[in-house]
Amino acid sequence: MLLCCRAAAAATEHEDTAAAAAPLRCSLLGQWSGGRCVCDKGWSGQTCSVADLKPLNLELGYDNVSSATWGGRPVEDPTTGVWSLVVSQFSNSCPLAMWTNNSQVVRAVSTTGPAGPYKFAAEVYSEFHHNPSSAHTAWRPLPLAPPTSSCKS
């Protein structure tokens, strides 16, 4: 009888450990069910670790060929239908190693919708500004900062 109880306790402990490890089996991007991962929407693969993306249209978005950009959330001006995208951008084509002093915030606009394409419109904040975010509010023009002309270290 004692052997039976120890075996049952060991099995329960194994099940508890397996249940605790199940989310990791699916990369925290799906559920373990029936001996396999059932991936959340947007993820695929045996361990749900492959982004299930549509083909990328390189004509959309904001592409500044002279400086790296990142971030951004489209916001529509309800009076004109023009979309603005406020992003961080390296100033004066500075390299990544100098981002802290040479990151600025710019606004790009699209007249075709939230996916773009976007074209540069204005510098919003000069160097040492990064990672802007948008919140829904009444539309108003963004304040502009004067442009700069050289990289600073």
CA angle 51, 132, 97 (to 5 degrees): 80
Task: Provide the percentage of residues in the chain whose pLDDT is more than 70.
Answer: 73
Residue 139 has pLDDT above 80, yes or no: no
42 or 133: which leads in pLDDT: 42
pLDDT digits (tens, 9 = 90+) for 62-119: 888 888 888 888 888 888 999 999 998 888 877 877 777 888 899 999 999 999 999 9
Beta bridge partners of 12: none
Encoded amino acid at 125, one letter:
Y
Confidence label for 126 from pLDDT (cuts 50, 70 and 90): confident
Alpha helices in the chain, H assignment, sequence order: 2-25, 99-102
Mean pLDDT of the residues in the chain: 78
In this prediction, residues 18-39 reach a mean pLDDT of 83
Mean pLDDT highest for which of 37-46, 53-62, 66-75?
Answer: 37-46
Residue-range domain boundaries for the chain: 2-51, 54-153
What per-residue confidence (pLDDT) applies to 58? 82
How many residues comprise the chain? Answer: 153
Q: Taking Cα atoms as reference points, which of 73, 66, 101, 67 lies closest to residue 87?
A: 73
